[in-house]
Amino acid sequence: MASQKTSDGFIRTLGRWDVLAVAFGAMIGFGWIVLTGGFLEGAGPLGAALAFVLGGIVVALVGLTYAELVSAMPHVGGEHNYVLRAMGSRPAFFTSWTLVLGYVSVVAFEAVALPQTMLYLFPDMLAGRMWSVAGYDVYATWAAVGIVSAIVMTGLNYIGVRPAAVFQSIAVLFLLAVGAALLLGSFVGGSTENMEPLITGGVAGLVGVLVATPFLFVGFDVIPQSAEEIKLPYRQIGQLLLLSVLMAVAWYVLIMLTVGSSLPVGELAASELAAADGMTALWGSDAMGTILVLGGIAGILTSWNGFLIGASRLVYALAQSGMLPRWFGRLHPRYRTPGNALIFIGGLSVLAPLFGRQTLVWMVDAGGLSIIVAYVMVALSFVVLRRREPGMDRPFRAPGGTATGVVAAVLAFGLGILFMPGMPAALVWPYEWVILGLWWVIGVVFMLRVPRVGPGPEAEARVLAARMR
């Protein structure tokens, strides 16, 4: 099927595999390598796998609301459109601005995660100490890896969504090959004795892993952002979104069980890169451990690429609705990408390595809460539109109807509570709360300029008309 240009100037060029690769790749970063040892120690191989299944159920319920809404409103910007139609202009800006922080934080963090990962392969790469930020020394060579990579990733997306999708496909295929090697290695060199006890820590151990799982599944929501670039029946977009979540669940379960069979839990917990050491043990080869680290790098790049696509389309949609300066809402005349939005977001990722690792960890944590807030708003929009506009064309209809949306909203809200003081995933005071506060100081400036426009199918047109007056 040939590429097709939409009325807004985007080119419909993403097929089934492209959509799956973008979403699945966005959900598989580097956490599966560095966090696995702690997960296995806290809950045991089977307990950790069960936690990912339970976390996947929560995310899948939220994904059902996304799947229905993206099929009904397949427009660039995803969540922005859903909340605008269900609740009006101010809630739509609140949701979108909050989500931008979440997306940008991931993009910026990947520019730090890549050079940090390269240290495992090239431990002598640090040279030219420049300064220290939050106790972390920033070296010129380390920063250069992140800066150059940020320029390359931004440039790749700038010249078209097709080159970005091809890159994503290649990286995801390599990632899947690494997963297959890990699975085969588990059958060849794994031991069920290493998996004993299958479950440890009781309920507390299970919950300890469960609170982390939703944040490792973040990424399926980049599909709605690029809906106008997908050349598939709208019903299939929703189905592929859900399939990507199931693939991510299967991936994390695979990691827990295979790595758990490689070495005793105590050794894995003491390892800085448990999955890599597990792969080495399964195959009896340091080279295989290195290949797994390369798979982790592929995960960084696929997550980086996916969120760069999502963030740029969301910023573009905000500008198209008159909620951000029009400069952000311009498409490149040749490449048909939101070039200015990409330059802005890419520019932030270029600067990110200069701030070291710790400050970006704070930013990602603050961004994690922001993404959960967006999940709540989308689920509520799903419920509102089911009741207010029952006749809306919905090529994909979520089973369970309104009840599905209510449950998804409650569960997503519960995840948000985990970020509050005293909870397992509490944001660090004052740093992460200050980041949120500063972001919203800027956001309020823009929000006050957004006309108060009520919900409905013509909400965006009425926002633009009000701005013109």
Q: What is the pLDDT of residues 281-315, one digit of tens each?
A: 999 999 999 999 999 999 999 999 999 999 999 99
Give the C-alpha separation, 96 to 105, whole Å: 14
pLDDT tens for each residue of 406-442: 999 999 898 889 888 988 778 888 988 999 999 999 9
* pLDDT-derived band at 4, boundaries 50, 70, 90: low
Q: Is the dihedral of CA 76, 77, 79, 83 positive or negative?
A: negative
Report pLDDT digits (tens) over 17-74: 999 999 999 999 888 887 888 899 999 999 999 999 998 998 999 999 999 999 999 9
pTM of the entire structure? 0.92
* 283 neighbors 97 (Cβ within 8 angstroms): no
**What percent of the chain is predicted at pLDDT more than 70?**
98
What is the distance between the alpha carbons of residues 94 and 331, in angstroms, rounded to a whole number?
24
**Would you give the DSSP letter of residue 325?**
-
Cα(421)–Cα(412) distance, rounded to whole angstroms? 17
Residue 337, classed as helix, strand or coil, is coil
Neighbours of 330 (CB within 10 A): 15
Residue 443's alpha-carbon distances to 95, 418, 463, in angstroms, are 11, 24, 17
Residues of the chain with pLDDT > 90, as a percent, come to 69
CA–CA dist 337, 331 (Å, integer): 5
Residue 228 pLDDT grade (very low, low, confident, very high; cuts 50, 70, 90): very high
CATH number for the domain whose boundaries are 17-463:
1.20.1740.10
Q: Are 261 and 190 in contact (CB under 8 A)?
A: yes
In 3D, which of 323, 445, 454 has the Cα closest to residue 462?
A: 454
Look at residue 468 in the predicted model and tell me its pLDDT. 66
Bridge partners of residue 139, in order along the sequence: 129
Helix/strand/coil for 132: strand
Q: Is the pLDDT of residue 396 over 90?
A: yes
pLDDT confidence bin for 134, thresholds 50/70/90: confident
Query: CA 346 to CA 355: how far, in whole Å?
Result: 15
- pLDDT at position 235: 92
Asked if pLDDT for residue 207 goes beyond 90, the answer is no
- Please state the domain extents for the chain: 17-463
C-alpha 303: how far from chain center:
7
Report residue 220 CA to chain centroid gap. 7
pLDDT at 7: 47
Q: Band of the pLDDT at 469, cuts 50, 70, 90?
A: low
